[in-house]
Chains A and B, each alone.
Chain A
Amino acid sequence: MKYKDYYAILGVERSANADDIKKAYRKLARKYHPDVSKDPAGEEKFKDIAEAYQTLKDDEKRAAYNNLGSHRPGEDFQPSRDWGQEFNTHFNDGNPSFEGVDLSDLFAQFARGHAGGAGGGRASRPVAGEDYEVAAPISLEDAFTGTKISLDLAMPVYDEHGAMRRESRTFEARIPQGATQGQRLRLRGLGGKGRNGGRDGDVFLDIRLKPHPLYRVDGHDLYIDLPLAPWEAALGATVEVPTLAGAVNLKVAPATNSGQSLRLAKRGLPKPGAGNESGDLFAIVKIVMPPNIGEREQALYKEIGELSKFNPRTHFPGEHAHAN
């Protein structure tokens, strides 16, 4: 197993007292806790910080950890057989084997040792299986139709002595319609197995919608830019708008302005629930000038300018006096 220097992780001396360890942990936890930190590496750092604190705050675990000796961080090592014998009330009932066990699982077994392991006739109380929170990036098209994703989870498995190891398991999970950014899907019972009658853990999928080249998302509503040529905006037009269910024809009224929002009801993402409801699709008008205007077009625009009495800036101070 790989050695982790729990003291270095918390930034304390090996001789630090319980108060120093608690203070160091709290300071780092406030900085890196994934629920409050914006640091993208925060989750990984906090995992190590929490693991170090869980071990060092407990006198028995700390003594056992100290007994492992000092190694370089990341160095492969195996606890001695004597070490296993010394702490045999917690590990494998005196038959220690540390093959495939990592340091955090090793010390997590102390808690189970006290709480009652699966084997060895210890007092048994229900222990809930582990829950997992997993980010699930999916495309907007997949959110619209529902999809399947593959999940790789390091699941705890227990041998006949109650010793825990993690094994990689692959699951296929169906994401039904109803997904949107930040929505959570609970896969009940798919997490770690509960023991002694405890509930099986769940997997919570945190849906992350991948950016889409056309649509922007707000809840179950979608937004798309609708570019219009000046004459389409002026005279009105019927234009084809892509939706997730295929293109639809949208009638644009004459004298439509830039920034105006045209609603296509129920063309957004399907909502969860029995009502078969869907969000809407909003087309945001953007009037776009051609990059090059030929002589004939220029002449026509000039003619319109001379003909029209329209002043779009009447709200500017003094502008009304200059209106045609």
Chain B
Amino acid sequence: MQTEHGHTGITHAVWMHRSQQVTIDELIALSGLSEMDLVELVDAGAMTPINAGVEVHVRSWTFTADYVPAVRKAGRLREELELDTHALVLAVKLLAQISELEGELAALRARQSLFGHR
């Protein structure tokens, strides 16, 4: 885990990237979602714990940290659009699809030569 120090005191700077991990408790604290919401999102295939398996208790789940922005967004949508769990799961899956398509579009644009088009 990378650690940096801000000028106002010790600040841990951590990339929300798949190279880092967060516990289910951290996800709950950071998103405002309940454990049940996160279980629903996992059951729906919207996210996958690193250590998913029948022998692992939900309270022991860990996730790659790149889920944090998406889960925080899910928490905001739940709260601010007053979504029920089913609508939340649907919204998260659709947002993930949009994000994937935006990523593919950005990748195609990066590969496209701009020479002579500027």
Contacts and interface: CB of A to CB of B under 8 A. Distances in A.
Contact of B19 (A35, A128, A188, A272): A272
Contacts of A142: none
Contacts of A178: 2, 15, 17
Contacts of B29: 128, 199
Contacts of B15: 176, 178-179, 183-186, 272
A309 to B, nearest CB: 29
Given A189-B12, A259-B113, A273-B17, A172 B95 contact: no
Contacts of A261: 111
Contacts of B69: 184, 204
Contacts of A173: 4, 6, 11, 13
A171 B8 contact: yes
A186 B14 contact: yes
B31 to A, nearest CB: 10
A185 B69 CA distance: 10
B5 interface: yes
Contacts of B81: 26, 29-30, 33, 36
A272 B20 contact: yes
Nearest to B3: A176
A133 B6 CA distance: 17
B26 to A, nearest CB: 10
A124 interface: no
Contact of A174 (B13, B95, B111): B13
A185 B16 contact: yes
A187 B68 CA distance: 13
A187 B115 contact: no
Contacts of B4: 173-174, 176
Interface residues of B, number: 38
Given A181-B106, A185-B16, A33 B80 contact: yes
A183 B13 CA distance: 13
Contact of A202 (B30, B91, B110, B114): B30
A271 interface: yes
Contact of B12 (A30, A187, A218, A225): A187
A273 B64 CA distance: 12
Contacts of A190: 6, 8, 11
A286 interface: yes
Interface in B94-111: 95, 106-107, 109-111
A174 B5 contact: yes
A229 B115 CA distance: 14
Interface string B62-87: 00010011001100110011100000
B110 A221 contact: yes
B114 A216 contact: yes
A184 B16 contact: yes
A225 B115 contact: yes
Interface string B8-37: 100111111101100000000110000000
Interface in A151-204: 171-176, 178-179, 181, 183-190, 199, 202, 204
A187 B11 CA distance: 6
Interface of A: 26, 29-30, 33, 35-36, 46, 50, 128, 131, 133, 171-176, 178-179, 181, 183-190, 199, 202, 204, 216-219, 221, 223, 225, 227, 259, 261, 271-275, 282, 284, 286, 288
Interface of B: 2, 4-8, 11-17, 19-20, 29-30, 65, 68-69, 72-73, 76-77, 80-82, 91, 95, 106-107, 109-111, 113-116
